[in-house]
Structure 1
Amino acid sequence: MKNSLLGVIDATSYYQSLEDLLLHRSMAALPIAGRYRLIDFVLSNMVNSDIGSVAIFPKFQYRSLMDHLGSGKNWDLNRKRDGLFFFPAPGLDAVDDGVGSFNHFAHHLDYFHRSRQEYALISNCYTVCNINYRPVLERHAMIGCDITEIRHKGKSLEMYVVKTSLLTELIEGREESGYTCMKDVVEDMDSGYKVCGYEHIGFVETVDCIEKYYQTSMKLLDVSSWKELFKKELPIYTKVKDEPPARYTSGASVKNSIIANGCYIEGKVRNSTMFRAVKVGKNTSISNSIIMQKSQIGDNCVLENVILDKDVRIEDGVKLIGEPGHPIVIRKGMIQGALMNS
């Protein structure tokens, strides 16, 4: 059943709790695990499952997402036939109908009519997992399901396998049926469709709030969780950037942390994630924190339970201590000085 699945990624989701991190990017482009974006997981899963045509449906702040994905080269999706497609929502005031909005799909119905794949896989953009969709499709076809919903511990992952022809019927008949998305169809006991469940076993985290983003990042510092998510046989791809190796001075100390390329560490880092080109000053202590790309932390600072977005500057002598599980969030490009903190 190779090349019989069409990939559809809903990148329109927005959660108010993540607002501080979504002012300049969409949820799909939210950085995680030192060098990845949320969308890398579902997109890599699709590519590893022999899906060669992937359509991404974004709505808000998707410039950074397009910059990250580019032509799809890093996922082997820069092809003459099929490949990677972007279909932005036609209006920013569009109603949030849920994952896989039929109203959004309707504006690009030609894409579904022209597709050569018999089946479609519809997925959200914010579930961190490593799943092979081929067994899902094989079971879907063998049992004769109309819709297969992928679940984890009984909870929906908002990932659905459906015949492309049935998907187009649902889109075209949305006004008559009242269905706005796949979830509506699955939850309607009187829909007349055969809905099946597929239980996925493995590492799964749904990032839909600051607390879940922070908890997921902390879990990925655990070696067993990391190995469960990042598998050699099913690699997670991302945009490749050429950076020099991280540098550590004689006074640096790093334990149980993810340190990306280009970092310069002079202080102490514990149980934290450092994205590319982060600088940590002398006598500075950072623990249980997430520091995004190109942020600069001065000398003699203390940061605990903190999330710094990209390009944040922390001046010398600043002390920021959040509560465990409820981190302090500093927005992109902000400057935090000792006087501001007093």
Structure 2
Amino acid sequence: MKRKLLGVIDATIYHEDLEDLLVHRPLAALPFGGRYRIIDFVLSNMVNSGIRSVAIFPKMQYRSLMDHLGSGKNWDLNRKRDGLFFFPSPIVDSDENKVGSFEHFAANIDYFYRSTQEYAIISNCNTISNMEFRPILEWHNEAKCDITEIRHQDGRSMEMYLIKTSLLINLIETRHETGYTCMKDVVTDLSEKYSICHYEYKGYAVIIDSIDSYFSTSMKLLDPQIWKQLFLKDQPIITKVKDEPPTKYIKESIVKNAMIANGCHISGTVENSIVARGVKIGKGAVIKNCIIMQKCQIEENCHLDSVILDKDVRVEAGTYLVGTAHAPYVIRKGTKQGALMNS
């Protein structure tokens, strides 16, 4: 089984509504849950499903993604055979929301020629789930499908496709004759000769494609019922290991229903929030319903509610920032936010 599935992750996807968080990084590398990146979920799903060869197809600004994944060691993908592969897209004017561009694949067709795996799972990079692909492969074979599109139980496509590697190669090679540009074109063509099946996934799954979905999905991690569906002992979500000291809480600090990563210094109040590594929160500061990314500094007596702070943001003393659950206040990476700016 370990040699049957090939993993293909499309990391070229871009959504304009997430622009404020994607200025310096691809969507795949967007921080999530205080210590993860969004791509960790689909990549971990593949590794937990016995996949030992994974190709990642990024487009632009992928340095942070490569820095996060490295050689794939944390996912046990730093191998002499198979392993983790990066194939940056040479295509500038491609549709960034079509998963699995055949033109992009064609530019790296040798990877598919050399693959020994009989089947390939093609996925987007921005689905939050904990999914096992092996039962889907068994279902695919029993149903005698040529292509299986994985759908959520509400009928939405999860932008994941299971296909024989040989058929994928054929679709890539004949793309100009057929007019197909990606997997979606194939599965939505009603006249297509292939047997197209739809697998209904009944577990928890969300595609991050907007600030609203990013914020709401992040906040749901604070719900133990959601947490238990995503973070399973036997199917861990793996991420880059960083050795940092424990978080320090001073005596006056108050923390309620929050996820706090390592290396933080908490002197204020944190409620219903997710705080990443190395964050400093000053005395008298009140943080509610917020996502605070790595190495942010929030000085004394600030009040933040429904706010997303990207990495390395500094919020000066006395600053008051308030958003809403459906329109959180977003501060871009590396900027300074002061009380005078918001008065």
Per the TM alignment, residue 97 of structure 1 is displaced from its structure 2 partner at its CA by 6.5
Cα shift readout 1:142-201 (whole Å, capped 9, x = no counterpart): 221100111112211010000000000000111110111001100111111101111111
Per the TM alignment, residue 341 of structure 1 is displaced from its structure 2 partner at its CA by 1.2
Conservation of the 8 A alpha-carbon contact between 2:8 and 2:121? yes
Letter in 2 for 1:123: S
Percent of aligned pairs with the same residue? 65
Q: Which residue of 2 aligns with 1:112?
A: 112
2:207 is the counterpart of 1:206? yes
Q: Say which SS state the counterpart of residue 329 (structure 1) adopts.
A: strand
2:146 is the counterpart of 1:160? no
Deviates more, 1:188-197 or 1:66-75: 188-197
Distance 1:148 1:91 in 2: 27
Q: Say which SS state the counterpart of residue 60 (structure 1) adopts.
A: coil
Q: Which residue of 2 aligns with 1:225?
A: 226
1:340–1:158 CA distance, 2 compared to 1 (3 A): same
Cα shift readout 1:282-319 (whole Å, capped 9, x = no counterpart): 00000000000000000000000000000000000000
Q: Say which SS state the counterpart of residue 277 (structure 1) adopts.
A: coil
Distance 2:261 2:230 in 1: 18
Conservation of the 8 A alpha-carbon contact between 2:58 and 2:87? yes
Conservation of the 8 A alpha-carbon contact between 1:97 and 1:181? no
Distance 1:20 1:92 in 2: 21
Distance 1:30 1:16 in 2: 14
Q: Say which SS state the counterpart of residue 120 (structure 1) adopts.
A: strand
Q: Which residue of 1 aligns with 2:78?
A: 78
Distance 1:209 1:249 in 2: 36
Conservation of the 8 A alpha-carbon contact between 2:208 and 2:214? yes
Distance 2:304 2:278 in 1: 18
Q: Which residue of 1 aligns with 2:216?
A: 215
2:37 is the counterpart of 1:37? yes
Question: Which contiguous aligned blocks of 4+ residues in structure 1 show a shift greater than 2 angstroms?
Answer: 91-97
If the length of structure 1 is used for normalisation, what is the TM-score?
0.99
1:254–1:321 CA distance, 2 compared to 1 (3 A): same
Distance 1:139 1:304 in 2: 46
Structure 1 residue runs of 5 or longer lacking an equivalent are none
Per the TM alignment, residue 102 of structure 1 is displaced from its structure 2 partner at its CA by 0.4
Q: Which residue of 1 aligns with 2:190?
A: 189
Per the TM alignment, residue 92 of structure 1 is displaced from its structure 2 partner at its CA by 3.2
Distance 2:2 2:144 in 1: 18
Cα shift readout 1:64-96 (whole Å, capped 9, x = no counterpart): 000000000000000000000000001333343
Distance 1:192 1:324 in 2: 46
1:24–1:109 CA distance, 2 compared to 1 (3 A): same
Distance 1:252 1:130 in 2: 34
Conservation of the 8 A alpha-carbon contact between 2:15 and 2:97? no
Q: Which residue of 2 aligns with 1:318?
A: 319
Distance 2:21 2:145 in 1: 39
2:60 is the counterpart of 1:63? no
Q: Say which SS state the counterpart of residue 232 (structure 1) adopts.
A: coil
Once the two structures are superposed, the pairs formed by residues 249-268 of structure 1 within 5 Å of their partners are: 249-268=250-269
Q: Which residue of 1 aligns with 2:301?
A: 300
Conservation of the 8 A alpha-carbon contact between 1:97 and 1:180? no
Conservation of the 8 A alpha-carbon contact between 1:288 and 1:305? yes
| RMSD over aligned Cα atoms | 0.8
Distance 1:199 1:147 in 2: 14
Q: Which residue of 2 aligns with 1:309?
A: 310
Q: Which residue of 1 aligns with 2:236?
A: 235
Distance 1:36 1:92 in 2: 28
Distance 2:58 2:191 in 1: 31
Per the TM alignment, residue 139 of structure 1 is displaced from its structure 2 partner at its CA by 1.1
Distance 1:308 1:155 in 2: 30
Q: Say which SS state the counterpart of residue 188 (structure 1) adopts.
A: coil
Letter in 1 for 2:272: N
Q: Which residue of 2 aligns with 1:151?
A: 151
